[in-house]
Amino acid sequence: MVRGQMNFKRLSLTDIKIDIPRVPKKKTLIDAMEAADVKNKWEKSSWGRKLIVQKRRASLNDFDRFKVMLAKIKRGGAIRQELAKLKKENAA
């Protein structure tokens, strides 16, 4: 963890809260973060999950993107088939 100044416009509030004294030492801050289980709470939050997915998608190579495209096409085809079945049942 690197401590430093940051512009207020770049900061965002979250529901994750840590009780720490004013101007804590780095070790105290790290211990408080581990005790509050901040990392797991962040990974379980919707914002954290979105960032994880974003990172995973950015690290895909060309073949992986191709496989994702094929999976989307297959899923869309299955959805269309089920929708057609339901429309046919409702029409009858």
Give me the residue spans of the domains in the chain: 23-59, 61-92
Beta strands in the chain (DSSP E): none
Over residues 9-49, the pLDDT tens digits come to 999 999 999 999 999 999 999 999 999 999 999 999 999 99
> Average pLDDT, stretch 72-91?
96
Query: And the tokens for 31?
Result: 């211990």
Distances, alpha carbon 8 to alpha carbons 5, 34, 54, 77, in Å: 9, 25, 24, 47
Long-range contacts of 53-56 (CB under 8 A, 24+ apart): none
Q: What is the pLDDT of residue 92?
A: 79
What single-letter amino acid sits at 19? D
pTM (whole model) above 0.85: no
Q: What is the pLDDT of residue 3?
A: 82
Residue given tokens 């070790």 in the structure block? 27
Please give the distance of CA 82 from its chain centroid, rounded to a whole number: 30
pLDDT of 71 above 90: yes
